[in-house]
Structure 1
Amino acid sequence: MAASAAESARARPRPLSLTWLGVVPFMLFALMFLIIPATLLMIGAFQDPQGNFTLQNIANLNQPTIIKAYRTSIAISAASAFGGALIGFGIAYAVALGRVPRWIRPTMMTFSGVASNFAGVPLAFAFMATLGRTGLVTALLTSIFGFNIYRYGFNLLSFGGLTLTYLYFQIPLMILIMTPAIDGLKREWREASAILGATTWQYWRMVAFPILWPSLLGAFLLLFANAFGAIATAYALTGSSLNIITILLFAQIRGDVLHDPNLGYALALGMILITGLSNGAYIWLRSRSERWMR
């Protein structure tokens, strides 16, 4: 009797849950502004202006100017990601494990949440007003110390200047990623290493860093992808004086001189492959790190 009741209960159709409706706006947003544009972009990369299939756009990526733009973008992204990871990890360590006043952590996390999303034209204007040729810091260094940073080779509209600008949002992003990871280091691991006679350096070299390594490498890749796809900050700060792939892509699609939308689609396809590999590796490394933190 009980078995028949259980079978009838299993056979009875379950009512449709409405909880999934909560993700519908996100799915529609992703469909309209991510999936469909990316699909059209990939199709356009293999079409000529008449809409016929061609591989010429992919072959044109072998031009010296385009290769140099990719190399410059990769170098800037790697430099800003490395600097952001190094400095951000140090700050995250101080906030999570350092003996700092209690109010510093919530203040730092709040600032990082805001600063990691501060980019584009406002960020470019802020750096120009601060470190430009007539910027506040430049003027103060010149008037007080007689030290003009531009006479010694500094240029905000250059590789180093753009990398420095990117660090403004790369460091806070690293803090947001690594602080929870450092918090995940269990106290028992450190106590066990101390009982076994390990020094602090041995604990970090043999226990903490191997556990944090996937998170560190994954965060570096995420910072790399974050900088590689940035265009508004670079365009507002340097214009066309710096040959990076995002500015070249903008010129191909929207420019008056270098107007070749299909080549622009091919450039964007290459960017998608690079950022996709970076983000995919980050997701894989994050999943490995989370298994240790459980």
Structure 2
Amino acid sequence: MTVLTEPGVDAAASAPVLPAGPSQNARARRGAPSWAWLGLVPFAAYVILFLVVPTVLSVGSGFFTEDGTFTWGDVAALGDPVVVQTFANSAGLSLLTAVVGAIVGALVCYALLGMNPEGAVRSTVDAAAGVLAQFGGVMLAFAFIATIGIQGVVTVFLQDALGIDIYAGGTWLYELPGLVLPYIYFQIPLMVITFMPALAALKPQWAEANLTLGGTRASFWLRIGIPVLAPSFLASLLLLFANAFSSYATAAALASQGSQIVPLQIRTALTSETVLGRENLAGALALGMIAVVGVVMALSSLIQRRAARWQS
């Protein structure tokens, strides 16, 4: 089709003006300065101060002496039988409390599954789990000492009323076995927080399809529910392991003497008056903890990605 224009008028000027396309709008947006990154500044500062800087300091103190000389001595000390046993104690304690917390927490989530998400019971449990998962340190240690300590309320009642002495075999609460109960105390609510969304994401249509095909409730969980929830359960289990492995304040308040687990051994290396000149060993121990927790969290992230495929 031929377009006629008046004499002396440029054809390009007389052409109709079309609206800008998506590519033009995108180029315009790219050209304009964006200040959205400012929202990440507080989080970035938090990560740098409480994650990056401690990691760099632990690496530096583990590989370098006080005068800046590079050394393998502190890192080689991680192979010492005492240090290896301490890591084994931490891993065993973390694995035990993570497994117990994961199983009990999953059962609590299953009990809540049939309740109204907006109901009083479900809301109360969710709120309590959010609070109790963060209830640790000196407060939790004091609660256990006041309850089942040597002169605790429950201890005295069992001894006076029933003649049961829970410390007949020794004061286990202030030793490594005594850390199991306090750790489980905050592991269960953490499992409820992390695993409940995955359990709630199970689609009712899957259960209906199972019943339509002649399945039972047991076959649904064995063939559909458990295989689908397994990645989320394992990811939560690894998170609980890392949480227990890196816990310090509760153990420090209960076990004031000795260094049965790695965080307490780091404290001993930094504050002991009998073991001098081994302050850099604390950095090597911290480096070992960072390596263990890093591997665990990397596995948890990989498993969680697999679980996110069906949850989305």
Give the alignment's TM-score, normalised by structure 1. Answer: 0.93
Quote the residue 2:206 is aligned against: 189
- CA displacement at 1:254 relative to structure 2: 3.0
Q: Does the alignment pair 1:199 with 2:210?
A: no
Paired residue type of 2:161:
I
Quote the residue 1:74 is aligned against: 91
Over alpha carbons, which structure has the higher Rg?
2
Cα displacement string for residues 230-277 of structure 1 (whole angstroms, at most 9, x for unaligned residues) = 111001001124511110011112332234221111110000010111
Quote the residue 2:245 is aligned against: 228
Q: Is the 8 A contact 2:258 2:264 kept in 1?
A: no
| Aligned CA distance change for structure 1 residues 103 and 54 (closer, same or farther; 3 Å) | same
Q: 2 CA distance for matches of 1:166 and 1:237?
A: 12
SS in 1 for 2:122: helix
> Which consecutive unaligned segments of at least 5 residues does structure 2 have?
1-14
Q: Does the alignment pair 1:239 with 2:256?
A: yes
Q: 2 CA distance for matches of 1:288 and 1:112?
A: 26
- CA displacement at 1:9 relative to structure 2: 5.4
Quote the residue 2:297 is aligned against: 279
Q: 2 CA distance for matches of 1:101 and 1:42?
A: 48
Q: Does the alignment pair 1:256 with 2:273?
A: yes
Q: 2 CA distance for matches of 1:95 and 1:158?
A: 35
Question: Which of 280, 283, 286 is the aligned partner of 1:265?
Answer: 283
Quote the residue 2:105 is aligned against: 88
Paired residue type of 2:226:
F
Question: Which of 143, 148, 157 is the aligned partner of 1:131?
Answer: 148
Counterpart mapping for 1:27-176 below 5 A: 27-97=44-114, 102-151=119-168, 155-176=172-193
Give the alignment's TM-score, normalised by structure 2. Answer: 0.88
| Aligned CA distance change for structure 1 residues 82 and 191 (closer, same or farther; 3 Å) | same
Quote the residue 1:292 is aligned against: 310
Paired residue type of 1:282:
S
Paired residue type of 2:194:
I
SS in 2 for 1:191: helix
- CA displacement at 1:32 relative to structure 2: 1.7
Q: Is the 8 A contact 1:158 1:242 kept in 2?
A: no
- Give the share of equivalent positions with the same residue, in percent: 36
Paired residue type of 2:188:
I
| Aligned CA distance change for structure 1 residues 233 and 207 (closer, same or farther; 3 Å) | same
Q: 2 CA distance for matches of 1:250 and 1:208?
A: 44
SS in 1 for 2:172: coil
Q: 1 CA distance for matches of 2:307 and 2:25?
A: 41
More deviation, 225-234/279-288: 279-288
| Aligned CA distance change for structure 1 residues 51 and 145 (closer, same or farther; 3 Å) | same
Question: Which of 194, 197, 204 is the aligned partner of 1:180?
Answer: 197
- CA displacement at 1:142 relative to structure 2: 1.8
- CA displacement at 1:290 relative to structure 2: 1.2
Q: 2 CA distance for matches of 1:36 and 1:196?
A: 57
4+ runs deviating over 3 angstroms: 1-13, 98-102
Q: Does the alignment pair 1:211 with 2:228?
A: yes
| Aligned CA distance change for structure 1 residues 116 and 11 (closer, same or farther; 3 Å) | closer
Equivalenced residue count is 294
Q: Is the 8 A contact 1:214 1:289 kept in 2?
A: yes
- CA displacement at 1:4 relative to structure 2: 11
Q: 2 CA distance for matches of 1:11 and 1:166?
A: 54
Paired residue type of 1:204:
W
| Aligned CA distance change for structure 1 residues 43 and 202 (closer, same or farther; 3 Å) | same
SS in 2 for 1:257: coil
Question: Which of 11, 19, 27 is the aligned partner of 2:36?
Answer: 19
> Which consecutive unaligned segments of at least 5 residues does structure 1 have?
none
Paired residue type of 2:229:
L
Q: 1 CA distance for matches of 2:20 and 2:96?
A: 66
Q: 2 CA distance for matches of 1:63 and 1:45?
A: 15
Q: 1 CA distance for matches of 2:168 and 2:35?
A: 65
